[in-house]
Each structure stands twice: as C-alpha cells, then as structure tokens.
C-alpha cells in the first residue's frame, strides 16, 4: 500500500509540474509522459534484501565474481525463511546468479545455478502448487534451454510454456509467466519465431494491467527492441532500446550489444 501511495504522489507531482512550468516542447512532453507511465507500470514485490542482487544482475556494472557476495548474502536470508518461502526465494537467488554468469558466458556456473533453482522449485511445488513455484521453474528452465544441447532442448523445451501456464492458473496477472510464453515467438530462431505475434503479446503485457516488477518491465522492453531489430525496423527498435535503458541505463546487452546489432 505504501508503494502504491508513493507512485500516486509521483504521478500527481509529475502532472502538476508539467501543467505549471513554462510550455514544453513536444518531445519534452512526450518524454515526461513516458517517464510517468513507466513509473506507474510496475510495483516491486521483492523482499528488500533480494533487491540488491536483482539490481546487480540487471545493471551489469559488476563482473560475475563481484556479484557472488551479494548472491551469498541474499541466499543466506532466503535460507532462513520458513516453509515454502525458503525454497521459492532460494530458487530466485540461484536464477539471478545464473543470469549473471550467463551474461559473462561462464556456462558451467550458469547451468549449475539454474539447475539448483529448478530443484528448489520442484521441491516447493511438491509441497504445494503456487504461481511463484511454477514461475521459478519455468524461468530457470527457459535459460537452460539457451545453454544445453539441441537434444536436451527438444526433450524439455516445451515444458517452459506448460509450466508458465500453470503459473497463470494460480495468478492470471503474472507478468513473468506471460513474458515466458510470448518470448518464444520473439527469440526463437527462424522459422520457429513469429515476431509480429510476439511483439503483440509483449504489448499486451504492458497494456493489460498485469503485475510487473522492475525486471519484468525491462525484459518486455528488451524483447520489443530485439524483435524490431530482427525485423530491421530501426526507429521502433531504437524507441524500445531507449525504454529499456530508462529502466537499467547501464545494461550492457541492450546498451552495447543490441545497439551494435541495430547499427550493423
């Protein structure tokens, strides 16, 4: 409730500022409106102690080895939780650490953390089904599909969408699960992708009143940028690259790699 109040205050202040200051140029008005809209799109439900790990992973200012102490501190907090929360938050920690290793192409370490994340998610789900349990399982499995053999992906890849749909059965507004279903159409290689379909699904996530956290918003913006890069729609791609960088300005994948692909 406190976070929602803060968001409303920010929005009211933004609107008041826009109305009372000297007239803005059209592009300035658009930027202000975009900023206010982005703030309103997400609310963070992560425990406070897990936020530094997520931020370190997505900001990409630190090497993977420098993220490890942040991961260990978060994992220790998760390990002290009671009940299924312990397994769910441990799984989340390992997923995030896997992402850090994966970006720096430390494949064996990334796989190790994703497999640990899957194992904790499975154990949690055996005790009780939940949106977070299915989401954790689907997210780590989706990243394993990017790292394992073609044969392994053929045997396990279709489970990503199946598990994401299980998460949606518990919570239809789960943006992470919706993103996993949509991302297949954006990121799969030709002829298995359908970028127009994926882009529409990503836009629907933004427009559908769903429960987005900060990383969800970044991931959707990045997918939209990637899809338009692949379609060689440079103006649209640059728009979504800028949107993604408004969430995590130092992210190297978007700010360096995706921009380089766009300009190439």
Claim to verify: residue 176 and residue 260 sit in the same structural domain: yes
Claim to verify: residue 87 and residue 122 sit in the same structural domain: yes
Claim to verify: residue 179 and residue 253 sit in the same structural domain: yes
Domain boundaries, position 238: 172-264
Which of residues 139, 169, 199 is at a domain's end?
Answer: 169
CA distance 104 to 64: 7
Claim to verify: residue 54 and residue 33 sit in the same structural domain: no
Q: Answer yes or no: is pLDDT of 75 > 80.
A: yes
Three-state DSSP class for 248? coil
Question: Both tokens of residue 199?
Answer: 């882009």
Claim to verify: residue 143 and residue 54 sit in the same structural domain: yes
pLDDT for residue 62: 98
Report residue 235's pLDDT band, with 50, 70 and 90 as the boundaries: very high
Claim to verify: residue 92 and residue 73 sit in the same structural domain: yes
> What does the pLDDT look like over 102-144, one tens digit per residue?
999 999 999 999 999 999 999 999 999 999 999 999 999 999 9
Closest CA to 203 of 224, 181, 226: 224
Claim to verify: residue 2 and residue 94 sit in the same structural domain: no
CA distance 55 to 254: 15
Cα 157 to its chain centre, rounded Å, is 19
The structural domain count of the chain equals 3
Q: Which residue has the tokens 């392994």?
A: 152
pLDDT for residue 41: 61
Claim to verify: residue 68 and residue 135 sit in the same structural domain: yes
Which of residues 123, 145, 169 is at a domain's end?
Answer: 169
* Phi and psi at residue 212, to the nearest 5°: -100, 135
Claim to verify: residue 89 and residue 132 sit in the same structural domain: yes
Q: For residues 195-213, give the mean pLDDT.
A: 93
* Phi and psi at residue 42, to the nearest 5°: -130, 155
> What does the pLDDT look like over 11-21, one tens digit per residue?
333 333 323 33
Q: Identify which of 35-44, 156-165, 209-218 has the greatest average pLDDT.
A: 156-165
CATH of the domain at 205: 1.25.40.10
Predicted structure pTM score? 0.84
Claim to verify: residue 137 and residue 81 sit in the same structural domain: yes
Closest CA to 133 of 160, 182, 167, 165: 167
> What does the pLDDT look like over 154-197, one tens digit per residue?
999 999 999 999 999 999 999 999 999 999 999 998 888 999 99
Claim to verify: residue 62 and residue 151 sit in the same structural domain: yes
Report residue 263's pLDDT band, with 50, 70 and 90 as the boundaries: confident
Closest CA to 221 of 197, 243, 192: 243
CA distance 126 to 115: 16
């Amino acid at each position: 409730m406190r976070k929602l109040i803060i968001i409303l205050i920010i929005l009211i202040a933004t609107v008041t500022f826009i109305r009372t200051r000297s007239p803005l140029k059209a592009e300035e008005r658009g930027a202000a409106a975009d900023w206010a809209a982005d703030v309103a799109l997400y609310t963070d439900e992560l425990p406070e102690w897990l936020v530094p790990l997520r931020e370190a992973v997505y900001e990409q200012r630190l090497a993977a080895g420098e993220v490890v102490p942040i991961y260990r501190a978060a994992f220790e907090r998760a390990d002290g939780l009671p009940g299924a929360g312990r397994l769910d938050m441990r799984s989340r920690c390992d997923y995030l650490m896997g992402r850090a290793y994966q970006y720096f192409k430390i494949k064996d370490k990334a796989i190790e953390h994703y497999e640990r994340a899957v194992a904790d998610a499975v154990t949690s789900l055996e005790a009780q089904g939940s949106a977070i349990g299915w989401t954790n399982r689907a997210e780590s499995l989706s990243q394993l599909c990017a790292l394992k053999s073609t044969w392994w992906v053929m045997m396990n890849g279709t489970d990503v969408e199946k598990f994401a749909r299980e998460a949606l059965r518990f919570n239809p507004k789960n943006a992470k699960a919706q993103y996993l279903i949509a991302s297949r159409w954006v990121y799969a290689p030709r002829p298995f992708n359908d970028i127009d379909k994926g882009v529409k699904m990503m836009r629907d996530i933004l427009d559908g009143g769903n429960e987005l956290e900060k990383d969800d918003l970044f991931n959707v913006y990045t997918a939209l940028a990637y899809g338009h890069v692949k379609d060689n729609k440079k103006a649209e791609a640059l728009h979504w690259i800028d949107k993604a960088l408004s969430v995590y300005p130092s992210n190297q994948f978007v700010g360096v790699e995706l921009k380089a692909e766009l300009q190439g």
